[in-house]
Structures are given as C-alpha cells and as structure tokens.
Amino acid sequence: MNTPRSLMVVEAEYRIYRRTWRGTVLTTWLRPILFLVAMGMGLGALIDRNVNQALGEAGYLAFLAPGLMAASAMQTAITEASWPVRTGIKWRKNYWAQISTPLTTNDLLTGLMIWITIRLLFVSTAFAVVIWVFGAGSFGKALMAVPAATLTGMAFASPLAAFAAWVKEDSTMIAMFRFSIIPLFLFSGAFFPIEQLPDFLEPIVVLSPAWHGVDLCRWIILGTPLTLSIWTELGYLAATMAAGWWAAARQLRKRLIV
C-alpha cells in the first residue's frame, strides 16, 4: 500500500498535536466565549438599546457571532500557517529533516494545508457550539457555516505560509502580526457593517478575504442578504487560497532546495 506522502506529514502533525493540544484549548473555546460575552452581550446590550437598523432585528449578538466565526478561523489559520513554516525552516529545522526523506517541499506544503483544514473544521465547529449555547443562532445553521469559515481560514493559511517561507527575520513576522492582523480582524465586518466606515476604506476592506468570509457566514447563519453573488464570494476565497498556495510552493522550494 502506498499512502500519499503528504498524509505522512499530516500524521506527523497529529502526533505532535497529541502532545501539545492543551495549549490550543484556550484559543479554541475561550476566545469565542470571551468575545461573545464582552462584545456580544456587554457591548451588544448598549447597542441594542439604541436600536440600530443596520444590524437588523436580531440584535447585536446575532449580528456579531457569525462574523466572529469567520474572523476566528482567519486568526487560527494565520497562526497555524506562519509559525510552523518559520520554525520548520529556521528553529526546529524539521523541514530539513523531512526533505532528506522521500518527502518533497510540495508534500510538506500539502500536508500542512490538509492539517490546517482539519484544525479549522474543528475550531469552527467549536465556535458553532458556542453560538448555539449563547443562543446567537441555530446550531444547524451554525454547522452549515463551518465549511465557509474553514474556507475563509484557508484563504489566509496559504498566503501566510508563503510569507513565512519568505521572511528572513523573526522581527518581520512580528511586525506583520502587529500591523496587519489586528486591522484585518477589526475591519473584517465582524464587529460592524463596513458601510459605517469612511468611503475610501470600504473598497480596501472588500479586498480582504476576511470580509467575504464574514459576509458568507452571516448569510448562512443570520440570513442577511449576500453583498456579492455566492460564486463571487466563494471564488474570491478560493482564488486567494490558490494564489497563496502557488507562492508558498515556490518560496519553500527556494528556501529549502538550495
């Protein structure tokens, strides 16, 4: 029996995860809970009192939760794609060990992407459970949004893997986290409708895959109309993922096959 080589990478990731999963419990469960309590219930109570038509009738919590599901998938994907690639090349150096076996750089990348997909499915499902517990949406609909949230995450995972394979200094990584992740998160449309933003910012936000993911998840869970057609939304996320994948494959080869 000949198992595809990239699945061996997934298997290795899983074996390491079995040793390190405790650290991820906090972000998987606590992040959605904290955000929904603080923003959804705390801030939401204030907002709902001042009835905001833009949010629809369901209230702020129901508006926030689906968007946050997509934005959380983005955050998970960014962390899980960037540091493993960076340390695989530079610190743990496990990529160098792996390429001296029959594995190729493409196997490493495919394996990592499959692994992140699995993680995103899990994290998004956990989010769906939290949504249901908070009464922020139906469980069935929240589950249906899991693939959309996962795709949103993947649209970030592959470009971030490419970026992490490309950077030469850890400080560049840290700067990226500091100056682009937080704006991406805040201006994803998860916390407020982007129509509230100054006109010149709107088209910039629309370029971010996060906004497309938020729009999709809100459509599925809350039933708000999609801003663009479903194929445009899905196509944009898929195209971003594909472009990132291509760049990551190229960068990994460049860094490791020298």
Site for other proteins contains 256 (CB under 8 A) = yes
Closer by beta carbon to other proteins, 5 or else 141: 5
How near is the Cβ of 19 to other proteins at its closest, in Å?
5
| Closer of 38 and 97 to other proteins (Cβ) | 97
User: Which listed range, 7-15, 148-156, 168-176, 210-218, lies at the site for other proteins (CB under 8 A)?
Assistant: 7-15
Compute the least distance from the CB of residue 9 to other proteins, in Å. Answer: 8
Residue 15 binds other proteins (CB under 8 A) = yes
Number of Cβ atoms within 10 Å of the Cβ of 39: 18
Q: Does 114 bind other proteins (CB under 8 A)?
A: no
- Interaction between residue 227 and other proteins (CB under 8 A): no
* Contact with other proteins (CB under 8 A) among 8, 43, 58, 118: 8
* Residue 92 Cβ vs other proteins, minimum distance, rounded to whole Å: 7
Q: Which is nearer to other proteins, 15 or 49 (CB)?
A: 15
Q: Which of residues 18-77 bind other proteins (CB under 8 A)?
A: 19-20
String of DSSP letters for the chain = ----HHHHHHHHHHHHHHHHTHHHHIIIIIHHHHHIIIIIIIIHHHHHHT--GGG-SS-HHHHHHHHHHHHHHHHHHHHHHHHHHHHHHTTS-HHHHHHTTT--HHHHHHHHHHHHHHHHHHHHHHHHHHHHHTTSS-HHHHHHTHHHHHHHHHHHHHHHHHHHHH---HHHHHHHIIIIIHHHHHTSSSSS-GGGS-TTTHHHHHHSHHHHHHHHHHHHHT-PPPSS-HHHHHHHHHHHHHHHHHHHHHHHHHHH--
C-beta closer to other proteins: residue 74 or 113: 113
Considering the rule CB under 8 A, would residue 99 count as an interface residue with other proteins?
yes
Positions that interact with other proteins (CB under 8 A): 2-3, 5, 8, 11-12, 15-16, 19-20, 92-94, 96-104, 256-258
